[in-house]
Amino acid sequence: MMEVFSSAVSEKRIFKVDDGKHRLTSDRVVVEEPLEIRIQYFFNNKWQKKNLAITMRTPGNDIALTLGFLLAEGIIASKSGIEAIEQLEINILIVKFLKTTKVDLTALDRNFYATASCGVCGKASIETLAKTACFFPQKDLPKIDYSVLLELPKLLRGSQSVFEETGGIHAAGLFSPTGVLLDYAEDVGRHNAVDKLIGNCLQKDLIPLRAQILMLSGRVSFELVQKAMMAGIPIIAAVGAPSSLAIELAEENGMTLIGFLRGERFNVYSGVGRIRI
């Protein structure tokens, strides 16, 4: 699995105004480019090719992003059925399945088009998504002290190297129940950051993630809860607000969902039994 690397940060000339004074200078901004995901699989006694998805993302860690995306969509449950992942160009990647791999054609029939703000676009229906999962979280486990939760935003922010340069990127961090940062990913799209994080874990054969906490730097939408559920993550915490659908999906699947985790306060929208207060 070879990856072509591209910078996540670009320098742009700007006209800066500050306290009534102005000057020409430069600013470092996060890069946003399209990634086209293609797949090759064996069906009806011949090799088939399909353009599966286009996502607007920050270049880098594209293989992990792709693996996380495939897991979240229920197309794969592990990397064992994949023969190779090749980056044809910086913005085109192809996943080649083994000849013996059975690919979920129902999932492939959906038209995927994901943007930096929407990871659920093109799905056949929310009902179909909600019924599809690889790894459900374990009931009421793990337990976590509320004091550990309070430290997570600071620990995640401290790991965000691209954010420090640009201020314009989202992050997803994976923590142990004692607050140890296990891994993190950054991307201009919130759902891409989660896909990259889950994809990293899939590459390391760590799925399911039933004893970990997912910490998000922004708000929580339905598709982010969906991705966590598919990977078995039981606890999601975020500095921003959850949507109504995010709360409903978390409740239906016994997940703990925490929003507005800032300073000394937070709201628990579902699964309060996992938190020791």
Q: For residue range 108-123, list pLDDT tens digits in order.
A: 666 555 544 454 443 4
Q: For residue range 34-48, list pLDDT tens digits in order.
A: 999 999 999 999 999
Burial of 264 (0-12, 13-18, 19+ CB in 10 A): exposed
Residues 6+ apart with CB under 8 A from 46: none
Q: What CATH architecture does domain 33-127 belong to?
A: Roll (3.10)
| Domain-wise residue ranges, the chain | 33-127, 144-276
* CATH fold for the domain made of 144-276: Cytidine Deaminase; domain 2 (3.40.140)
Residues 6+ apart with CB under 8 A from 197: 64, 68, 172, 173, 174, 183, 184, 185, 214
The band of 161, judged by pLDDT with boundaries at 50, 70 and 90, is low
pTM of the model: 0.86
Give the single-character DSSP code of 112. P
Residues 6+ apart with CB under 8 A from 212: 174, 175, 176, 177, 182, 233, 234, 235
Look up residue 163 and give its amino acid: F
The band of 73, judged by pLDDT with boundaries at 50, 70 and 90, is confident
The band of 2, judged by pLDDT with boundaries at 50, 70 and 90, is very low
Residues with a known catalytic role = 118
Averaged pLDDT score across all residues of the chain: 85
- The better pLDDT of the pair 102, 160 is held by 102
Residues 6+ apart with CB under 8 A from 203: 63, 64, 67, 79
Residue 167 has pLDDT above 80, yes or no: no
Percent of the chain with pLDDT over 70: 84
